[in-house]
A and B are shown apart, each in its own frame.
Chain A
């Protein structure tokens, strides 16, 4: 059994330095790894990134993260990712990693994701260049996620994003803003790659539990949704392999 802890949207800043750490000090008693589903900062500054590193570095479980839209606000996302990596946190952006836990290979593919909307109610790459750029950004990230998931040699596969792959976990959000909260293109990538669990954040007013159209479990771990330091999900290695 693998115990996966996950949280998103912790929105750390210099004003919250040191406030989260106590809740994670003994995380190994509850979980085997910790996933961070983006929006780790508030304004996306390097100073805030250093707070994130101080809060999550050196825990007694592996920590794997993606960045979110807030982490891009100051155009310092690459610096934030680099400093987290320097402190031992794995940061995924269209890439994957495999963590070995009790001889089980846990593969995590991660990407920020983006908006665009959900099947039949989504934007299209048509018209103004700004609209095409919006949709192409979402398409590109989903394709990177697909490639990363399919590239995992693992017994358990987890997709980690900031934006949502499913409208299920947006229940509670106004439907009018769904296209800014996620994209079904992420779910298509997840459904094509024998994924066991998809974890995301971003939707503060959404719901925790849902599925993709293909039946993969989706969990929204945005902290305002889970109202806790993290959630823990238990998984068992599956025999499924990508087709």
Chain B
């Protein structure tokens, strides 16, 4: 039986446990025949790796890679905790 909730869980486990990705912070949603990935990763190669692993679990689904590259510029302000 094809149950989208189990497909989401299987893909999230794969993204966490597959050494190509090791990403615990990528969200997975299946809506109809659309598969959406979201979250932040460190670089473009990892964004592509997430899509590669997801594609192996996306049989019959249209994959949307909405994962972003995390911001890593120096801050322009500080928070005063005095």
Interface on A for B, CB 8 Å cutoff? 1, 3, 10-13, 15-16, 19-20, 23-24, 26-27, 30, 42-43, 70, 73, 196-197, 204-205, 217, 219, 223-224, 226-236
Partner of B39, one of A43, A224, A234: A224
B81 located at the interface, meaning its Cβ lies under 8 Å from any Cβ of chain A in the complex = yes
B80 within 8 A of A: yes
Which one, A30, A204, A219, contacts B75 given CB within 8 A?
A30
A27 near B79: Cβ-Cβ < 8 Å: no
Interface SS of chain B: loop
Contact of B61 with A by CB under 8 A: no
Name the A residues within 8 Å of B75 (CB-CB).
30, 226, 228-232
**Contact, CB under 8 Å: B73 / A234:** no
Query: Interface size bucket, B side?
Result: 20 to 34
Find the A residue at minimum CB distance from B46: A15
- Tell me, yes or no, whether B60 is within 8 Å of chain A by CB: no
Per the 8 Å Cβ criterion, residues 16-72 of B in contact with A are 19, 22, 24-25, 27, 39-43, 45-46, 70-72
Are B72 and A232 touching (Cβ within 8 A)? no
A226 to B79, CA, bound (A): 12
Q: Contact between A70 and B74 (Cβ–Cβ < 8 Å)? A: no
Kindly state the separation between the CA atoms of A73 and B73 in the bound complex, as whole angstroms: 28
Q: Which residues of A contact B27 (CB under 8 A)?
A: 205
A42: B residues at CB distance < 8 A = 22, 42
